[in-house]
A and B are shown apart, each in its own frame.
Chain A
Amino acid sequence: MEHILGKLFNPESVAIVGATPKEGKIGRAILENFIKRFHGRIYPVNPGYDEIFGLKCYKSVTDLPETPDLLVVAIPAPGVPAVIREAAIKGIRMAIVISGGFRETGTPEGEKLEKELEEISKTYGIRILGPNCIGIYDNWSGVDTYFLPKMKRPPRGFVGFISQSGAFSSALMDWMAYHNIGVSRAISYGNKIDIDDIDLLEYLGEDEKTKVILMYIEDLKPGRGKLFIEVAKRVVQKKPVVIYKAGKTSRGSLAAASHTAAMAGEYSIYKAAFKQAGIIEVDSFDEMMDVVRIFLHQPLMKGNRVYIVTDAGGVGVMLTDALTSVGLEVPQTPSDLKYILRKELPPHCIVENPIDLTGDADDERYMRVLDILIEKPYVDAIVVVALPQIPGIKGSFIDHIIKLKNEYKKPIVALTIGSEVSLEVAEKLEKGEVTVFESPERLAKALKALYTYSIIKTRGDHHEKP
């Protein structure tokens, strides 16, 4: 059965109220987006035109030749309630209200208009995304109300993004396009008078095209917290949910009538909620994208034992510190493995974890060691430090790493540091879905997130068994 919000993302037809040929207008940008990529039927609505860009234009929603699955509204706020009411009466079930000028203005008029809109939504059952939002960028259906022509569109892919901030959402799309990270659907919900984070999380949870869900939130609607946890708990059993909570500084809770109330800063409660729900919380933009990348391409970890293969002793030590301090283990090489490695490697190489192939390493040496390591059941993840500045490395080990990762379904991540020569290695590895980092600390944090999620997922699998 289709999800209740299905038509919001996958409509067969859409009407755009406020569509216009006028340069620089939001209504034009949205119409152009749809013409470019949406394969369903498009109905511009604007009483001032008979035709826009070759499409027949309608005077009003009532005049439309059919009841479209989705209505997009981009007209000044005072006109919005009437249009939504008209649409609801026509039988339209889904609307995205792009228009600003509601509660966010802080004016009584804005507040009144928003209440009116809320009322209409409740009375007629028409679902509303927004108002005051940039809406939806759907890479699979072509629904695209992101009215920013200069924003690069990321390629089709599997990251779903829910954002309370429109500007951040569009900046992130642009960034992801630049870094070639594929997006399934991105949603910015604005004032969320009806459809909110929880509805969207549930939808993306069931969405086959979304493999990782990223959320940026400032606050949830009052009274929705417990439902949020409940929904998230279900979703994380299917796919990881990564969250960034903005607004962490505690505003003193109410009147601090008790110790507990005084301690309960808003953020500490959110933090607890994320943990309970099995959501991965990130603290910075860097971490957000690192974690998303690792979830996109790495299989789960069976344990927390990490082996490092490096051509640079120092970086091996940095990594060991970083991995250990986030709570991962860099165990000593067991004696049987030491014995095998000793036989394989020249005597000056170090077989203790981190396994140091030293500065005269070549592709061959990497491949031999990785072949041995990947098979060991006590190796839960491998970090390959590939500083390509040393002369012996020609690059043939790159394809080998990719092959091993796909064959053994074990996480392999890489660390490279340097200029073009390093970026080139990184790019090739990334193409083969081996996640690459530049910083040991960022690598460690991302790998820890992968491990944390692996535990959440396995625990859930156990719970489901009777």
Chain B
Amino acid sequence: MTTTRSPKEIIRKALSEERLKLLEHEAFELIKYYEIPVPETLLARDPKEAYELADTIGYPIALKIVSPDIIHKSDVGGVRLGLMNRDEVARVVEEMLKTVSTRVPHARVLGVLMYRMAPPGLEVIVGGVRDRVFGATIMFGLGGIFVEVLKDVSFRIAPVRITDALEMIDEIKSSKILEGYRGQGPVDRKAIAEIIVKTSKLMMENEEISSIDLNPVIVYSNGAIVVDARVILSKVSH
């Protein structure tokens, strides 16, 4: 886990295993390569390893099962959040491995992904798609109902420069929320803009990626962090 793989290597491996959706730790590894802020994630193969890693990660810890055969992790008991010490972590990893193997007997389980949970903040979404006409295209929106119900999002065709990214952020109808809400101060728009620009670069440089969701990205008054990432590939015929 410690050696960094290039995006091409990550993608090639997934495609060679006929997986069109990157595993969570692969997705994190990929976006981290582009210096998009992500939580430090570690893969523990067993409770003992989890116990040893927990302190270095810091708390609260989130645990997620890693398996190419499981799509909805939480449905099979593969997600646990808010663990506060290493004993708890070890116990829950043991439980999780057991539950998952009973519920999905033939699933290949690579281990459990551990990361420190990001403190709460404003949730936004940054995404990318590959359009038939315009190619790599980047999206920005606020998280939750803003994107799901109100579809309040903005787009730019890649490459997206920092000025375009800032414009995208201001373009959504609910952009006022970024100036501060529920007594919070304004969020770090520049940090979001940088993630947008990096996502644009990532989409431009990796033809095989058909879409990407960084959802949510949690934004603070200073900085932002991606806490969930989904990367979908397509087979490019070159």
Show the binding face of A for B, using Cβ within 8 Å. 219-226, 229, 253, 257-261, 263-264, 266, 268-269, 271-273, 276
Contact = CB atoms under 8 A, between A and B. Distances in A.
Given A225-B135, A273-B134, A260 B157 contact: no
B13 to A, nearest CB: 20
A268 B133 contact: no
Contacts of A260: 125, 127-129, 139, 211-213
A363 to B, nearest CB: 46
Given A222-B132, A225-B134, A260-B139, A273 B157 contact: yes
B128 A269 contact: no
B211 A272 contact: no
A271 B132 CA distance: 15
Contacts of A222: 132-133
B134 A269 contact: yes
B155 interface: yes
Contacts of A224: 133
22 contacts: A219-B133, A221-B133, A222-B132, A225-B131, A225-B157, A253-B129, A257-B210, A257-B232, A258-B127, A258-B212, A258-B213, A259-B213, A260-B139, A261-B127, A261-B129, A264-B129, A268-B153, A268-B155, A269-B133, A269-B134, A269-B157, A273-B157
A134 B211 CA distance: 39
B142 to A, nearest CB: 12
Interface of B: 125, 127-129, 131-135, 137, 139, 141, 147-148, 151, 153-157, 164, 210-213, 215, 230, 232
Given A229-B157, A258-B230, A223 B133 contact: yes
Nearest to B127: A260
Contacts of B141: 263
Contact of B147 (A261, A263, A268, A269): A263
A219 B131 CA distance: 12
Nearest to B141: A263
Nearest to A259: B213
A309 to B, nearest CB: 34
Contacts of A263: 127, 139, 141, 147, 151, 153
A241 to B, nearest CB: 16
A445 to B, nearest CB: 19
A347 B168 CA distance: 49
Nearest to B151: A263
Given A225-B131, A260-B127, A269 B137 contact: yes
A222 B133 CA distance: 4
A225 B141 CA distance: 23
A5 to B, nearest CB: 22
A6 B127 CA distance: 42
Contact of A259 (B127, B137, B154): B127
A259 B137 CA distance: 13
A257 B211 contact: yes
B156 A272 contact: yes
Contacts of B164: 276
B157 A226 contact: yes
Contacts of A273: 134, 157
Contact of A225 (B133, B210, B230): B133
B149 to A, nearest CB: 12
Nearest to A273: B157
B193 to A, nearest CB: 15
Given A258-B211, A259-B213, A273-B157, A264 B133 contact: no
Given A258-B211, A269-B157, 15 more contacts: A220-B133, A221-B133, A222-B132, A225-B133, A225-B134, A225-B157, A253-B131, A257-B211, A258-B230, A259-B125, A259-B127, A264-B155, A268-B153, A269-B134, A273-B157
Contacts of B135: 223, 225-226
A223 B232 CA distance: 20
Contacts of A219: 133
Nearest to A265: B151
A194 to B, nearest CB: 18
Given A258-B230, A259-B127, A260-B212, A272 B132 contact: no
A261 B129 CA distance: 6
Nearest to B140: A260
Contacts of B215: 259
B19 to A, nearest CB: 13
Q: Which of A220, A222, A263, A269 has the most CB of B within 10 A?
A: A263
Contacts of B137: 264, 269, 272
Contact of A272 (B128, B147, B157, B230): B157
A396 to B, nearest CB: 47
A226 B134 contact: yes
A263 B137 CA distance: 12
Contacts of A257: 210-211, 232
Nearest to B156: A272
A260 B171 CA distance: 17
A220 B135 CA distance: 12
A263 B139 CA distance: 9
A271 B230 contact: no
A247 to B, nearest CB: 12
A47 B211 CA distance: 56
Contacts of B232: 257-258, 261
A252 B215 CA distance: 20
Given A225-B157, A269-B157, A272-B156, A259 B131 contact: no
Q: Which 7 A-B pairs have the closest CB atoms?
A: A260-B127, A225-B134, A272-B155, A225-B133, A258-B211, A258-B213, A261-B211
A226 B133 CA distance: 8
Contacts of B153: 263, 268
Contacts of A264: 129, 131, 137, 139, 155
> A223, A259, A260, A263 — which one has the most chain B CB atoms within 10 A of its CB?
A260
B131 A269 contact: yes
Nearest to B20: A257
Nearest to B231: A258
Contacts of B154: 272
Contacts of B133: 219-225, 269
Contacts of A229: 134, 157
